[in-house]
Every structure is written in structure tokens, then in C-alpha cells.
Amino acid sequence: MDRHQVKPAPGRPRSQQAMEAVLTAVHRLLQTTAYKELTMEGIAKAAGVGKPTLYRWWPNIASIVMDVMKQQAHHDIGAPDTGSLESDLLLYIGDTCRSLTQGAGAIMRSLMAEAQFDDGFAQIFRESFISSRRATLIALLQRGAARGELQKDADLELLADLCYGPIWYRLLNGHASLDEAFVQAITAHIIMRG
């Protein structure tokens, strides 16, 4: 064997077909079943796989649902590059808020609650889901900064917090909507602060 060839990891590799079946089944289940009512047995049955297959790939239901939500976010929330930071933010924040108000919100609230009680899942959630969403937003901000639309010393991490903080706060508390006026206000605030 060539010393530069990579050896496969031990254990059975994931079957892409079975993985897609699980994610598709969970996506469908979430349209009719509340997050707290999902079971590994129900997921396995809906996907046509065995429970051991699920546990080989995911430690718990929250991790499966998070992967479904990552797929959905990737599909529903683009990474616009219009040449204008304001336009990019309006599109990105708008798509984020629309996704949360069109069904994803209740699921995201459940995942955030799960992360408060399960430290292992909290770490996976931060490193896998939250970090990818932040990275997309920060890339938009970096492009805007490179075009001179933000101050040279703008704290992009803080600007990302100033964007997501109000979204999560409204999502979790339900005291106000994630409507177009909110999207415009957040965008204007980030542009002004940056």
C-alpha cells in the first residue's frame, strides 16, 4: 500500500442512502410531530433502518434533528453576494427570519432548550450548527468591510452577535415578530454600528 493513501476509519462507513433516508424521514416527521414526541424507534421505522444504525451515527434525537435543520438552513438561507452589504444583510437576515417563522422556529427553540440541559449536545450544536451560520454572516460582513462599507476596526464577531441576539431573543420569548420591519431595523443597526 502506498504510504500516502489514507486508511479508512474503523467500523462500518455510513451508507449515504440510509443517511438520506433518516434525514428525509425526520424532516417529514417534524411536519406532523412535535420535537418532544420524536423517538428513535419512530425515526428508525419511518426511515426503514435499524435503531443501532441511528445510534452508530447520532448520539441522540437532538443531533439528528440538528442535521436536518442544517440541511434546511443551507437550502432556505443563502449566502448572498450582491456587491452591497446592506442588500446582503437584508437578504440573509430576511431569509433567516422567514425560515424561523415558517416552521423552523419551534424546532430551533427545542434544540436550544436541549442544549441547556445536555452539555455534549450544546457543544455539538455550537460547533456544527451555530458556527456555520455565524461563519456565513461574518463572511458577508468581511466582504462589506473589504469594500469600505464598515469601519476598518469593526468588531465583526460583535456585529454578528448584534444580529443574532435580537433574532434569538424574539424567537425564544415570542414577544415580537420577526417581520420585515425587524429585518430592516437590524440591518440598519449593523450598518450604523459597523
pLDDT in tens, 140-167: 999 999 999 999 899 999 999 999 999 9
* b (16+ CB within 10 A) / e for 169-179: ebbeeeeeebe
Kindly report, residue by residue over 102-122, the tens digit of the pLDDT: 989 999 999 999 999 999 999
Long-range CB contacts (< 8 A, 24+ apart) of 76-84?
76/104, 77/133, 77/136, 79/136, 79/139, 79/140, 80/140, 81/140, 81/143, 83/147, 84/149
126 pLDDT tier (thresholds 50, 70, 90): very high
Taking the domains of the chain in order of start, what are their residue ranges?
13-57, 62-193
Range 13-57: architecture per CATH: Orthogonal Bundle (1.10)
Q: Is the distance from CB of 159 to CB of 190 less than 8 angstroms?
A: yes
29: three-class secondary structure by DSSP: helix
Q: For position 156, what pLDDT does the model report?
A: 97
Type of residue at 18:
A
Contact 54, 40 (CB under 8 A): yes
Q: 62-193 sits in which CATH class?
A: mainly alpha
Same CATH topology for 13-57 and 62-193: the answer is no
